[in-house]
Amino acid sequence: MRIYEDGLSIPPTYLRTLSMNGGFIPRERIERITVRRWKKFFIRMQEYDVYIWYDAPVEFVVHLKNGRRIRSGPRPPESIKQAVDIMHERWNVPVVHKGSGNGRRKRVVDRKRVELIDL
């Protein structure tokens, strides 16, 4: 996912690859952004090294002026927060947050909890 001065680029899925724009959304077409939270989301870094987020913002939905909705797909909460803040501050795009806070992150290595952080 990349943010440019004139729009947002979300890497295309199989269906977006078939469309003409290839995942680029001009900022004039964006009506609002909704930040979604998941109860549990994990990313496997290596075979036995896993990061687990609880009640964290891991996805946003871009609502376009023509009624379409485009999901960003699950991503780490830090990148979601950074992208949404940039679009809200620089472009004045309204943002709807579902819930509050940044959730908790747990790191598990070899099935043992190594750290638990409140974000």
Say if residue 12's pLDDT is above 70: no
Tokens linked to 36: 């979604």
Side chain identity at residue 62, one-letter code = V
Residue-level pLDDT at 35:
93
Percentage with pLDDT > 70 across the chain: 90
Q: Cα–Cα distance between 48 and 68 in angstroms, integer?
A: 39
Q: What is the separation of C-alpha 66 from the centre of its chain, rounded to a whole number of angstroms?
A: 22
Domain range summary for the chain, segments of one domain joined by +: 30-118
Residue-level pLDDT at 93:
92
Residue 61 pLDDT grade (very low, low, confident, very high; cuts 50, 70, 90): very high
Q: 36: how many CB neighbours lie within 10 A of its CB?
A: 17
- Sequence-distant contacts of 71-77: CB under 8 A, at least 24 apart: 72/1, 72/10, 73/10, 73/11, 73/13, 74/38, 74/41, 75/1, 76/43, 76/51, 77/53, 77/102, 77/103, 77/105, 77/119
Please state the rounded mean pLDDT for residues 105-116.
85
